[in-house]
Amino acid sequence: MDLGTKRARTSLVALALASIVAGGCSGTSGEEPVVEESTGELNNGTFRWQCVDASDPTCGTGVFPRAVAVESLFDLSFTPDPDLPDEVELYSIESVSERRIDVDGDDFLVREAGEVSLLATGDGYGVDYIVLEGHPIDRFVLRNADGEQDALGPIHDPLAQVGAITDVEALPYHGNLSLAGALVYEWESLTPDVVDLVRFGGNEATLRGLRVGTARLMVRAGGFSEIIEISVVEAPPEPEPDPTTGGWDGSGSDSGSGSDGETDTGSGSDSGSGSGSDGGSGSTGDSEGGSSSTGGAE
């Protein structure tokens, strides 16, 4: 399938359905779907970001990205402004530099770092364009996947508890830029006696804490790998019954529960161990939020 045919198909379908469906990032049933849109540089229409799969951290943020990871995939649709003349028809979305951003099947593939304009075209003329920047990944930030944190919001150190299930996700960065795009991820536990890598898919992984200590995880994606450390701590103690009432006195912490329904028990502190200056996990890199790194480009 050539570029023109591919883009004509996806873009015209998007044009017909843009007012009633999301372009790949859906919201809760009964609510308006969260979409990532941006007006083109010429104000002649709207570009919509379409997530290729769930590993793209852009989906659900409501923010159209401008920085994308090298080796990542994404898609776009374009809706012309309704005030444009009727004879304006959209045929394709094209990259002005296929060396940097090219078409791979039905998606755009970021091949090299650099700034690229993506042009929405008619029959032999341009309608509008948008500019994206490709960047190589130089670090990952790890966070708890079950929190309410937004990809553009504050990042907190993830903690795993002994006997409990913890879901984490890796966010690709270049410096302080959060990078968009779907990537193929690989995960590996380098300390299997401290934390068990139960399963992983995309940029998310499920961990089970086995003993108190510092767990080291290897994360690979986009031609970059990094070792990230997280703390495994004891689960909080179960509350003691009140001897005067027979009920709970509330002096103890609530017992934790993993996402698999297992109750976490144990004793000891629930503060993370490590030597980082912010009291989070130890660090030999520059990751924000206290996640540490000793990795580099492959």
> What Å distances lie between residue 58 and 24, 51, 87, 107, 142, CA to CA?
11, 7, 34, 16, 16
- How many domains does the chain divide into? 2
Please name the amino acid found at residue 107: D
Q: For a pLDDT cut of 90, what percent of the chain falls above it?
A: 45
Pair (91, 237) in one structural domain? no
**Residue 215 in this model has a pLDDT that exceeds 50:** yes
pLDDT at 64: 95
Reported in sequence order, the residue ranges of 237-294 that DSSP labels E, i.e. its strands, are: 256-257, 263-264, 292-293
Is 71:110 a contact under the CB 8 Å cutoff? Answer: yes
User: Out of 97-111, 214-228, 261-275, which region has the weakest mean confidence (pLDDT)?
Assistant: 261-275
CB 88 within 8 A of CB 98: no
| pTM of model > 0.85 | no
Within a 10 A sphere around the Cβ of 240, how many other Cβ atoms? 11
If asked whether residues 108 and 243 sit together in one domain, one would say no
Q: Last residue of some domain: 116, 135, 154? A: 135
Residues 154, 292 share a domain: yes
The sign of the dihedral angle between the CA atoms of 120, 129, 124, 105 is negative
Phi and psi at residue 234, to the nearest 5°: -70, 145
Check whether residue 94 and residue 198 sit in a common domain: no
User: In the predicted model, what is the mean pLDDT of residues 56-84?
Assistant: 92
73, 106, 135 - which closes a domain:
135
129 and 231, same domain (yes or no): no
276/145 same-domain check: yes
Structural contact between residues 293 and 279, judged by C-beta atoms closer than 8 angstroms: no
To the nearest 10°, the Cα dihedral for 171, 205, 188, 143?
40
**Which CATH number do you get for residue 216?**
2.60.40.1080
Same domain, 214 and 293: yes
Residue at a domain's end among 119, 135, 151: 135
Task: State which residues form the domain around 99.
Answer: 3-135
Residues 93 and 203 in one domain: no
Asked which of 122-126, 221-225, 228-232 is least confident by mean pLDDT, the reply is: 122-126
If asked whether residues 146 and 183 sit together in one domain, one would say yes
pLDDT at 198: 95
